[in-house]
């Protein structure tokens, strides 16, 4: 992890924390280019009633049209689901930094098989926030992962 990785993953965590404080699923994301934020996002499923408003999708929507994503990095507080992983591959995002794979994971090998560099940070704040959410709101968590 670089200094930029540490700093930008912290921004993703702060987005996750904001989502938690709003009563939503605490998953935050940052799309960056050259160490600079292009867009921030957080899971908005509860807040907007939108089943595909995951943190990564929110950041990408807010980034708007990009000529290319091949020089970007996506930071996410939680391992991306298959929908978000597919979008990462579709857009050609070459690198993903993940804060937490303990509470949810499984698509890291899929991303790697498609040529995406995956960095797992095992960030204690990301892990603790998601564990708290799962403990306090298991019904929302089950809904978010479609169980």
Give the 3-state secondary structure of 66-108: CCCCCCEEEEECCCCCHHHHHHHHHHCCCEEEECCCCCCCCCH
Mean pLDDT across the stretch 70-86? 97
Task: Show the tokens assigned to 95.
Answer: 């690198």
Q: Which of 22, 56, 136, 147 is catalytic?
A: 56
More confident residue, 32 or 147: 32
Of the chain, the percentage scoring pLDDT greater than 70 comes to 99
Residue 139 a catalytic site member: no
Q: Tens of pLDDT along 5-51? A: 999 999 999 999 999 999 999 999 999 999 999 999 999 999 999 99
Q: Which is nearest to 133 in space by CA: 18, 24, 53?
A: 24
Q: How sure is the predictor about 82, in pLDDT bands with cuts at 50, 70 and 90? A: very high
The CATH number of 3-145 is which of 3.40.50.10800, 2.60.120.1440, 3.10.129.10, 3.40.140.10? 3.40.140.10
The Cα angle at residue 21 between residues 41 and 122, in degrees rounded to 5: 60
Task: Show the tokens assigned to 111.
Answer: 């991303």
Q: Tens of pLDDT along 111-126? A: 999 999 999 999 999 9
Domains in the chain: boundaries: 3-145
Q: Tens of pLDDT along 50-69? A: 999 999 999 999 999 999 99
């Amino acid at each position: 992890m670089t200094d930029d990785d540490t700093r930008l993953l912290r921004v993703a965590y702060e987005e996750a924390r904001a989502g938690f404080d709003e009563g939503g699923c605490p998953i935050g994301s940052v799309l960056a280019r050259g160490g600079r934020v292009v867009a921030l996002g957080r899971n908005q499923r509860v807040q907007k009633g939108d089943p595909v408003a995951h943190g990564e999708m929110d950041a990408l929507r807010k980034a708007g049209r990009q000529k290319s994503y091949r020089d970007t990095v996506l930071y996410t507080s939680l391992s991306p689901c298959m929908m978000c992983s597919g979008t990462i591959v579709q857009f050609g995002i070459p690198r993903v930094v993940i804060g937490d794979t303990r509470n949810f994971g499984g698509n890291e090998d899929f991303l790697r098989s498609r040529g995406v560099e995956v960095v797992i940070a095992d960030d204690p704040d990301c892990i603790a926030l998601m564990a708290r959410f799962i403990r306090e709101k298991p019904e929302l968590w089950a809904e978010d992962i479609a169980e």
